[in-house]
Structure 1
Amino acid sequence: MNQCTAVALLPPPEHVLALSVPDDHRPEAGHVLCELGEDHDGEHCAMLWDEGERPGSAVWIRWDRERARLLPLPWCPDRDPRNADDACGLFTGHPSGHSWEVTDPTDQAITQHLARQHPHLFP
């Protein structure tokens, strides 16, 4: 399945703005892209960072039309049946397919283009 195409503009939190230096160095808003499969139920989600090595160490943003929330969520424990070393890159209880089932069509198109131009780099 293709990746969801929902995008949100995430402004920096107010406490970060309050701690920042003068206006010419203030943090800027950034865009986040939903990492779930298209046509998923519920909120859109993107992982912002992972502190690693402990449950709930990954911080995700979940959003809909009304609000956005930052949440620490544990990683999905499922493994790719084709390669048990590859774990799902989404959170426990995610509403769409596992990360190995979700394809980013833009990334796929870029990879195919590069493979045609530089076949020696793509065995």
Structure 2
Amino acid sequence: MVRQLRNAGEDPAELPPHELETAVCELEAEHGGAHADYLCEIDPRTQVWVRWEEDRHEFVRLAPCETPAEFADDVCRLFDGHALGHSWEMDDMLHG
């Protein structure tokens, strides 16, 4: 994935520590469209995610969702504009 990050204009050496070996979708199991896996945070308003459908993938900078939970002192750990449920509704978020 290092080569793909460079092709997307990212310098892996300048990113915070991250896992480059595999990608696991963090969206709900029944979502439609592209899969997405969190890679790292650039700053509080910018995260790097890998998105893919079949064998096509891309690295993108996205703002975090930050929708507040209804009954908890928490925010959604997915990206802004994600499909379906928020992270606090999921049992097994990988990064939050």
Q: Does the alignment reach a TM-score above 0.5?
A: yes
Query: Distance between the aligned counterparts of 2:79 and 2:65, measured in 1?
Result: 5
Do 2:25 and 2:37's aligned partners in 1 also have CA atoms closer than 8 Å? yes
Gapped regions of structure 2 (runs ≥ 5): 8-19
Aligned counterparts, 1:1-123, within 5 A: 11-13=1-3, 15=6, 30-53=21-44, 55=45, 57-83=46-72, 85-104=73-92
Q: What TM-score do the two structures reach when normalised by structure 2? A: 0.73
Aligned-pair CA distance for 1:77: 2.9
Asked which structure has the greater CA Rg, the reply is: 1
Partners of 2:50 and 2:81 in 1: how far apart?
Answer: 15
CA distance in 2, matches of 1:12, 1:51: 17
The one-character-per-residue Cα deviations of 1:22-68 (angstroms, maximum 9, x if unpaired) are: xxxxxxx6111111111101000011000223x3x100000011311
Query: Shift of the alpha carbon at 1:13?
Result: 1.1
CA contact under 8 A between 2:66 and 2:77: conserved in structure 1?
A: no
Instruction: Indicate the SS of the match to 2:55.
Output: coil
Q: Which runs of 4+ in 1 moved over 3 A?
A: none
Gaps of at least 5 residues in structure 1 are 1-10, 17-28, 105-123
Q: Which residue of 2 aligns with 1:6?
A: none
Q: Distance in 2 between matches of 1:12 and 1:72?
A: 16
More helix by share: 1
